[in-house]
Amino acid sequence: MSSISAAGVFNLNQPFYGPSQNGIDLWCSYAHRLTRGVSWKIQLNVTNAFARDALIPISVEPDGHTWAAARIAPVQEFAITNTFTY
| Amino acid 83: pLDDT | 97
| Amino acid 84: pLDDT | 96
Q: CA-CA distance, 4 to 7, in Å (whole number)?
A: 8
Pick 5 or 64 by higher pLDDT. 64
Helix (H) or strand (E) holding 5: none
Q: CA-CA distance, 74 to 56, in Å (whole number)?
A: 10
Q: What is the DSSP string of 7-73?
A: TS-EEEEEE----------EEEEEEEE-SSS-EEEEEEEEESTT----EEEEEE-TTSSSEEEEEEP
pLDDT in tens, 5-26: 555 666 778 777 777 888 899 9
State the average pLDDT for the chain.
Answer: 86
Q: Please report, rounded to a whole number, the percentage of residues in the chain having pLDDT higher than 70.
A: 88
Domain limits, the chain: 2-85
